[in-house]
Structure 1
Amino acid sequence: MHKPLLSLALAALLGGPALADTAPFDLAGPALRVSVTHGGQTLPIAEVPQLATGDGISVIADLPDDQSAHYVLIAAFLRGSTNPPPDKWFFDTETWTKKGRKGLSLTVPDGAQQVVLFLAPATGGDVSTLRNAVQGRPGAFVRAAQELAQASLDHGRLATYLDAVRRTEPDDPGRLARITPLLARSLQVKINADCLTKLPALQAACLLQNQESLVLNDGHSNAITDAVGGPGADLALQLSATPQGGLGYYSPYIAAIRDVIGIFSSIHTAKYQYIPALATLDGDHMGLLLNAPPSFHNPKSVLVTALPIVAPVHVPPLQLVDPSPSLCGQASTPLLPMDGAPLVYATRYAHDLSLRVALPDGRTVDLPATPDAEQGGLVIHVDGRLPAGFKTPLDATVHGIWGFQPFDGPKVTIQPSQGGQWRVPADAGSAHAGSITISGGASACVTGITTQANGAAPQPAKWNATSPTTLSVTLSAPPAKEGAARNGPLTIAIAGPAGSPTDRLTLSPPAPPEGMAVSLIAHAIQRPQAAPPVPITLGSDTEIPGDATFTFSLRADKGGRFTGKETVEIAADSGGGTATLSTASGLRLADRQVMLATIEPAKALGVSAFGPLRARIVRDGAAGDWIPLGTLVRLPRLRQLDCPSSPAPAPSAPASPAAPVPTPAQTCTLSGDDLFLIAAVSTTPGFEQPAEVPDGYPGTTIAIPHPANGALYLRLRDDPATVSKIGG
Structure 2
Amino acid sequence: MTFASLVPHRMRRAAGAALLLAGLAAAPAGAADSAFDLPGPGLRVTVTRGTVTLPIAQLPDLAAGDRIEIHADLPEDQRTRFVLVSAFLSSATNPPPKEWIEAAETWKRKQKDRALTLRVPEGARQLVLFLVPETGGATGTIADAVRNKPGEFVRAAQAINQASLDRSRLDAFVAAIRAQENKDPAHLKAIAPMLARSLAIKLNAECLDKVVEFQAACLLENRESLVLADMHSSSVAATLAGAPTDLALQLSYTREAGLGYYSQYIAVVRDIARLFGAFSTPQFRYLPALGLQEGERIALLLNAAPSFAKPKSVLVASMPAIGADSLPRLRAANAAPLCGADPNLVLPVEGAPLIYSTDYARNMVVRLNGADVALQARADRGGYVPRTPIDPSRFQGSVEGRLHGTWGYQALTGPAFALQFPTAAPWKAGPEAPSLVTGRDNPLKLEGPAPACVSSVSMRVGDGPAQPVKFKAEEDGLALTLPLKDARPGDVTLEIRQTGRPAPATVALRAYREASRIAGLVLHAGDSWGELTGQRLDQVASVELGGLRLKPDGLTREGDTDRLRVAGAGDAPAPGEATARVALNDGRTLRLPVTVRPPRIRVELLDKDVRATAPASQLPLVAGNALLPDTARLHFSLRAANGALSARDAIEITGPRGQSLILKAGPNLQLQGDTVLVATLDPAALGPSAFGPLRFRLVREGEASDWRPLITLARLPKIERVDCGAQGRCTLTGQSLFLIEAIAGTPSFDGLVQVPQGFTGRTIEVPAPQAGKLYIRLQDAPSEVVELPTGG
- Same fold, judged at TM 0.5 (above): yes
Q: Deviations over 1:381-419 (max 9, x none)?
A: 463567x35434333321111100102121223322113
Matching of residues 139-288 of structure 1 within 5 Å: 139-168=151-180, 172-228=184-240, 229=243, 231-232=245-246, 234=248, 237=251, 251-288=263-300
Distance 1:246 1:306, change over 3 A: same
Shift of 1:341: 0.8
Q: Is the 8 A contact 2:341 2:391 kept in 1?
A: no
User: Which residue of structure 1 aligns with residue 402 of structure 2?
Assistant: 397
User: Which residue of structure 1 aligns with residue 455 of structure 2?
Assistant: 447
CA distance in 1, matches of 2:141, 2:27: 28
Distance 1:396 1:296, change over 3 A: same
Shift of 1:474: 4.8
User: Which residue of structure 1 aligns with residue 677 of structure 2?
Assistant: none
Farther off after superposition, 138-147 or 494-503: 494-503
CA distance in 2, matches of 1:617, 1:406: 77
Please state if 1:99 is matched with 2:107: no
**Corresponding residue to 2:56 among 42, 45, 48:** 45
CA distance in 1, matches of 2:153, 2:542: 91
SS at match of 2:140: helix
Q: Is the 8 A contact 1:261 1:276 kept in 2?
A: no
SS at match of 1:315: coil
Q: Deviations over 1:135-191 (max 9, x none)?
A: 111111000100000000100111111111222357745422222222222111221
User: Which residue of structure 2 aligns with residue 378 of structure 1?
Assistant: 384
Farther off after superposition, 376-385 or 276-285: 376-385
**Corresponding residue to 2:302 among 285, 290, 294:** 290
CA distance in 2, matches of 1:490, 1:619: 38
Farther off after superposition, 502-511 or 174-183: 502-511
Shift of 1:234: 3.9
Q: Is the 8 A contact 1:420 1:502 kept in 2?
A: no
Matching of residues 48-87 of structure 1 within 5 Å: 48-87=59-98
Q: Is the 8 A contact 2:361 2:407 kept in 1?
A: yes
TM-score, length basis structure 1? 0.64
Distance 1:247 1:375, change over 3 A: closer
User: Which residue of structure 2 aligns with residue 308 of structure 1?
Assistant: 320
Give the AA of the match of 1:210.
Answer: N
CA distance in 1, matches of 2:121, 2:387: 41
Shift of 1:493: 3.0
Q: Unaligned 5+ residue runs, structure 2? A: 1-21, 520-530, 536-540, 548-576, 595-792
SS at match of 1:223: helix
Give the AA of the match of 1:92.
Answer: A
Q: Is the 8 A contact 1:148 1:257 kept in 2?
A: no
User: Which residue of structure 2 aligns with residue 654 of structure 1?
Assistant: none
**Corresponding residue to 1:512 among 511, 514, 519:** 514
User: Which residue of structure 2 aligns with residue 532 of structure 1?
Assistant: none
Distance 1:194 1:489, change over 3 A: farther
Q: Note the aligned Cα RMSD (angstroms).
A: 3.9
Give the AA of the match of 2:235.
Answer: A
User: Which residue of structure 1 aligns with residue 339 of structure 2?
Assistant: 328
Q: Is the 8 A contact 1:463 1:472 kept in 2?
A: yes
CA distance in 2, matches of 1:301, 1:15: 11
User: Which residue of structure 2 aligns with residue 668 of structure 1?
Assistant: none
CA distance in 2, matches of 1:35, 1:564: 80
Q: Is the 8 A contact 1:465 1:471 kept in 2?
A: yes
User: Which residue of structure 1 aligns with residue 740 of structure 2?
Assistant: none
Q: Is the 8 A contact 1:357 1:396 kept in 2?
A: yes
Shift of 1:466: 3.2
Distance 1:582 1:113, change over 3 A: closer
CA distance in 1, matches of 2:324, 2:250: 26
Q: Deviations over 1:458-488 (max 9, x none)?
A: 4555444332x23334544697xxxxx7566
CA distance in 2, matches of 1:304, 1:597: 90
Shift of 1:97: 1.5
CA distance in 2, matches of 1:277, 1:581: 80
Shift of 1:428: 4.2
Q: Unaligned 5+ residue runs, structure 1? A: 1-10, 359-363, 480-484, 518-562, 568-578, 586-593, 599-603, 605-613, 621-728
Q: Is the 8 A contact 1:429 1:507 kept in 2?
A: no
User: Which residue of structure 2 aligns with residue 341 of structure 1?
Assistant: 352
Farther off after superposition, 98-107 or 25-34: 98-107
Q: Is the 8 A contact 1:428 1:436 kept in 2?
A: yes
CA distance in 2, matches of 1:564, 1:254: 65
CA distance in 2, matches of 1:478, 1:516: 20
Q: Deviations over 1:680-701 (max 9, x none)?
A: xxxxxxxxxxxxxxxxxxxxxx
CA distance in 1, matches of 2:239, 2:461: 64
CA distance in 1, matches of 2:359, 2:238: 20
Q: Is the 8 A contact 1:452 1:477 kept in 2?
A: no
Please state if 1:115 is matched with 2:127: yes
Matching of residues 12-27 of structure 1 within 5 Å: 18=29, 22-27=33-38
Give the AA of the match of 1:441.
Answer: P
User: Which residue of structure 2 aligns with residue 411 of structure 1?
Assistant: 416
User: Which residue of structure 1 aligns with residue 374 of structure 2?
Assistant: 368
CA distance in 2, matches of 1:19, 1:251: 24
Q: Is the 8 A contact 1:53 1:108 kept in 2?
A: yes
Give the AA of the match of 2:342.
Answer: A
Distance 1:30 1:436, change over 3 A: farther
User: Which residue of structure 2 aligns with residue 472 of structure 1?
Assistant: 479
Give the AA of the match of 2:251.
Answer: L
Shift of 1:46: 0.8
Q: Is the 8 A contact 2:23 2:33 kept in 1?
A: no
Distance 1:170 1:144, change over 3 A: closer
CA distance in 2, matches of 1:619, 1:493: 46
**Corresponding residue to 1:133 among 133, 145, 148:** 145
Matching of residues 428-577 of structure 1 within 5 Å: 428-430=434-436, 433=441, 435-453=443-461, 458-467=466-475, 469-476=476-483, 486=488, 489-498=491-500, 500-513=502-515
CA distance in 2, matches of 1:28, 1:456: 69
**Corresponding residue to 2:428 among 423, 426, 445:** 423
Shift of 1:233: 5.5
How many residue pairs are counted as aligned between the two chains? 518
User: Which residue of structure 2 aligns with residue 539 of structure 1?
Assistant: none
CA distance in 2, matches of 1:584, 1:225: 78
Q: Is the 8 A contact 1:332 1:381 kept in 2?
A: no
Distance 1:330 1:597, change over 3 A: closer
Distance 1:94 1:41, change over 3 A: same
Shift of 1:31: 1.1
Give the AA of the match of 1:188.
Answer: A
CA distance in 1, matches of 2:65, 2:329: 26
Distance 1:208 1:457, change over 3 A: farther
Distance 1:230 1:488, change over 3 A: farther
SS at match of 1:127: helix
CA distance in 1, matches of 2:187, 2:301: 30
TM-score, length basis structure 2? 0.59
Distance 1:30 1:188, change over 3 A: same
Q: Is the 8 A contact 1:456 1:478 kept in 2?
A: no
Question: Quick check: which one's strand share is greater?
Answer: 2
Distance 1:448 1:122, change over 3 A: farther
User: Percent identity of the aligned residues?
Assistant: 39
SS at match of 1:50: coil
Q: Deviations over 1:686-727 (max 9, x none)?
A: xxxxxxxxxxxxxxxxxxxxxxxxxxxxxxxxxxxxxxxxxx
Shift of 1:434: 6.3
